[in-house]
C-alpha cells in the first residue's frame, strides 16, 4: 500500500462526524445544515434541457481534450467575463470533471516526485491542496489568513529557502472560507515570486461568480495577468467550475485555462488518468457557459440571504459580509469552535463546521481555530431561521 496515505488528515466532514458522535441533536427544532458548501438552488432549465437533448452523447467515448465547441464556449466566456484580448481554445483551455479532480491531478503533472519540494497554499484552505501535495511527493507549506491581515496571504512571510524549492502555489480567490478576493497588486507580487523562483501557480476560482456587488465582479488571475502584460499566462493555470456558478455540482463540469505549455503536459497526464467529459454533459456545459441570466438570478438569491442573515449573525458573532463566495466566516465567543458546534447542535439542531478543521497548525497556531464556517446554501427562510437560532443560542 502507498504509505503516503497514512499522512493524509481525515477530511473535515469525517472529523465533524467524529466530533458530533454521541451528541443528541435537539428534538425541539427541525435540523438545519450550514456545514457543507453544496449548492442547493435548483439546477437551471437551460442545463436540464441541454442534458435531455444531448442524451445521444452517451453512446460514444468522449475525447480527453473535450470537443472544439466546448473549448470555444469556455474561451468565449473567459473573454466576456474578464475582458481577455485572447485565449486560444485549442491550446489554452481544457475541460475537466469539476475543479476538485483537476486541482488534485494537476499536482501530479507539475511535481517531479524524484525532486519533491514544497507546495505553498493558504491556511485555512481547501483540503485537496494538501492531499495533492503529499501524494505527488512534495511537502505543504502554509500561509495563514487571519483578521490582522484582512484574511489575505502575506506571501513575503514565506522563507526564501522555501520559495527556492517551491514547485506549485495554490491560490484561492475568492477565498474558501474567508471570501477574500485578491487585488491586481497582490497578483503582481505572486507573479514576481513565480518569475524569481520558477514555480507554477494554480488559481482556484470556483467561487468567482458568487459575488454580492453586481457592479464589481472579482478580478480573475488571467485578467490580472493581462493587466500586468503577461499575455502568455506564463506558469499560470486557473481552475473553474459550473458547480457553484450554475448550481450543477452533480454534473462535475469545469475547466482549466492558461499556460499552453503546461496544459499540453496536463493533457498528456489526463489521457492516462482517464478523465474525459461525457458529450452529454459537454453539451449542457456549452449551454451553461453561454447563458448569464441564470447566474445573475443565482447571485440575487445569495445576496438576499447575506442581506437577511449577516446582521443577525453579526449581532452575536464576529463576522461581516464577504467580498464573494457563499460563506460567513465567523469568530465564536470564547474561541472554542468545536465546543460551539457541538452545543449549537445539541441545543438548537443547527449544524456548522469548526474553522479549525479547515486549517492546519503551522508555526505554532491554527488560524482557523476560534472560527466557524456558515454555508448559506439552504433556501432563504431556512438560513434566516438558522441565524435566529444562533442568536438565541448565544443570547441565552
Q: 254-258 and 236-241 as β-strands: parallel, antiparallel, unpaired? A: antiparallel
C-alpha cell of residue 35: 456545514
pLDDT, tens only, 143-156 = 999 999 999 999 99
- Residue identified by cell 483537476 is 102
- Residue identified by cell 484552505 is 125
Distance CA 110, CA 139 (A): 14
Distance CA 345, CA 34 (A): 11
Distance CA 321, CA 339 (A): 24
Identify whether the C-beta of residue 50 lies closer than 8 Å to the C-beta of residue 283: yes
C-alpha cell of residue 86: 485572447
CATH classification number, 45-291, choose in 3.40.640.10, 3.30.450.20, 3.30.1490.100, 3.30.750.24: 3.40.640.10
pLDDT, tens only, 289-314 = 999 999 999 999 999 999 999 999 99
At residue 242, the pLDDT reads: 98
C-alpha cell of residue 218: 472579482
Q: Which CATH architecture has domain 3-42+294-395?
A: Alpha-Beta Complex (3.90)
Per-residue pLDDT of the chain (396 residues; tens, 9 = 90+): 999 999 999 999 999 999 999 999 999 999 999 999 999 999 999 999 999 999 999 998 999 999 999 999 999 999 999 999 999 999 999 999 999 999 999 999 999 999 989 999 999 999 999 999 999 999 999 999 999 999 999 999 999 999 999 999 999 999 999 999 999 999 999 999 999 999 999 999 999 999 999 999 999 999 999 999 999 999 999 999 999 999 999 999 999 999 999 999 999 999 999 889 999 999 999 999 999 999 999 999 999 999 999 999 999 999 999 999 999 999 999 999 999 999 999 999 999 999 999 999 999 999 999 999 999 999 999 999 999 999 999 998
Mean pLDDT, the chain, integer: 97
Does this chain's domain 3-42+294-395 share its CATH topology with 45-291? no
Predicted structure pTM score: 0.97
Distance CA 125, CA 144 (A): 9
**Quick one: three-class SS letters along the chain?**
CCHHHHHCCCCHHHHHHHHHCCCCCCCCCCCEECCCCCCCCCCCHHHHHHHHHCHHHHHCCCCCCCCHHHHHHHHHHHHHHHCCCCCCCCCCEEEECHHHHHHHHHHHHHCCCCCCCEEEEEECCCCHHHHHHHHCCCEEEEEECCHHHCCCCCHHHCCHHHHCCEEEEEEECCCCCCCCCCCHHHHHHHHHHHHHHCCEEEEECCCCCCECCCCCCCCCHHHHHHHCCCCCCCCEEEEEEHHHHCCCHHHCCEEEEECHHHHHHHHHHHHHHCCCCCHHHHHHHHHHHCCCHHHHHHHHHHHHHHHHHHHHHHCCCECCCCCECCEEEEECHHHCHHHHHHHHHHHHCEECEEHHHHCCCECCECCCCCEEEEECCCCHHHHHHHHHHHHHHHHC
Identify whether the C-beta of residue 92 lies closer than 8 Å to the C-beta of residue 257: yes
φ, ψ for residue 378, nearest 5 deg:
-70, 165
At residue 159, the pLDDT reads: 98
At residue 251, the pLDDT reads: 96
At residue 274, the pLDDT reads: 87
Domain boundaries, the chain: 3-42+294-395, 45-291
Distance CA 171, CA 24 (A): 38
Cα maximum dimension of the chain:
60
Tally of residues, the chain:
396
Amino acid at each position: 500500500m502507498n504509505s503516503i496515505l497514512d499522512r493524509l488528515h481525515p477530511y473535515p466532514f469525517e472529523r465533524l462526524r467524529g466530533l458530533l458522535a454521541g451528541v443528541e441533536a435537539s428534538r425541539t427544532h427541525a435540523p438545519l445544515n450550514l456545514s457543507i458548501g453544496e449548492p442547493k438552488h435548483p439546477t437551471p432549465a437551460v442545463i436540464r434541457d441541454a442534458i435531455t437533448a444531448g442524451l445521444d452523447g452517451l453512446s460514444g467515448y468522449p475525447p480527453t481534450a473535450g470537443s472544439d465547441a466546448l473549448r470555444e464556449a469556455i474561451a468565449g466566456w473567459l473573454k466576456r467575463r474578464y475582458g481577455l484580448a485572447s485565449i486560444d481554445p485549442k491550446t489554452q483551455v481544457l475541460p475537466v470533471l469539476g475543479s476538485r479532480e483537476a486541482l488534485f491531478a494537476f499536482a501530479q503533472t507539475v511535481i517531479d516526485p524524484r525532486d519533491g519540494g514544497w507546495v505553498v497554499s493558504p491556511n485555512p484552505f481547501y483540503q485537496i491542496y494538501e492531499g495533492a501535495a503529499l501524494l505527488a511527493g512534495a511537502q505543504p507549506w502554509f500561509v495563514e489568513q487571519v483578521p490582522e491581515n484582512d484574511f489575505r496571504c502575506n506571501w513575503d512571510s514565506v522563507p526564501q529557502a522555501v520559495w527556492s524549492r517551491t514547485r506549485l502555489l495554490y491560490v484561492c480567490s475568492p477565498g474558501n472560507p474567508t471570501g477574500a478576493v485578491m487585488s491586481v497588486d497582490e497578483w503582481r507580487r505572486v507573479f514576481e515570486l513565480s518569475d524569481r523562483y520558477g514555480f507554477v501557480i494554480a488559481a482556484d476560482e470556483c467561487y468567482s461568480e458568487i459575488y454580492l456587488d453586481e457592479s464589481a465582479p472579482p478580478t480573475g488571475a488571467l485578467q490580472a495577468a493581462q493587466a500586468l502584460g503577461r499575455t502568455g499566462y506564463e506558469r499560470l493555470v486557473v481552475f473553474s467550475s459550473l458547480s457553484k456558478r450554475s448550481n450543477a455540482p452533480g454534473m462535475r463540469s469545469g475547466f482549466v485555462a492558461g499556460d499552453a505549455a503546461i496544459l499540453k503536459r496536463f493533457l498528456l497526464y489526463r489521457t492516462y488518468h482517464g478523465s474525459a467529459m461525457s458529450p452529454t454533459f459537454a453539451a449542457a456545459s456549452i449551454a451553461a457557459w453561454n447563458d448569464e441570466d441564470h447566474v445573475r438570478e443565482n447571485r440575487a438569491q445569495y445576496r438576499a440571504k447575506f442581506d437577511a442573515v449577516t446582521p443577525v449573525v453579526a449581532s452575536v458573532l464576529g463576522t461581516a459580509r464577504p467580498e464573494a463566495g457563499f460563506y460567513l466566516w465567523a469568530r465564536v465567543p470564547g474561541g472554542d469552535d468545536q465546543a460551539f458546534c457541538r452545543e449549537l447542535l445539541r441545543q438548537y439542531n443547527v449544524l456548522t463546521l469548526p474553522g479549525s478543521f479547515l486549517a492546519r497548525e503551522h508555526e505554532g497556531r491554527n488560524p482557523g481555530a476560534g472560527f466557524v464556517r456558515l454555508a448559506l446554501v439552504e433556501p432563504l427562510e431556512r438560513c434566516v431561521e438558522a441565524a435566529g437560532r444562533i442568536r438565541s443560542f448565544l443570547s441565552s
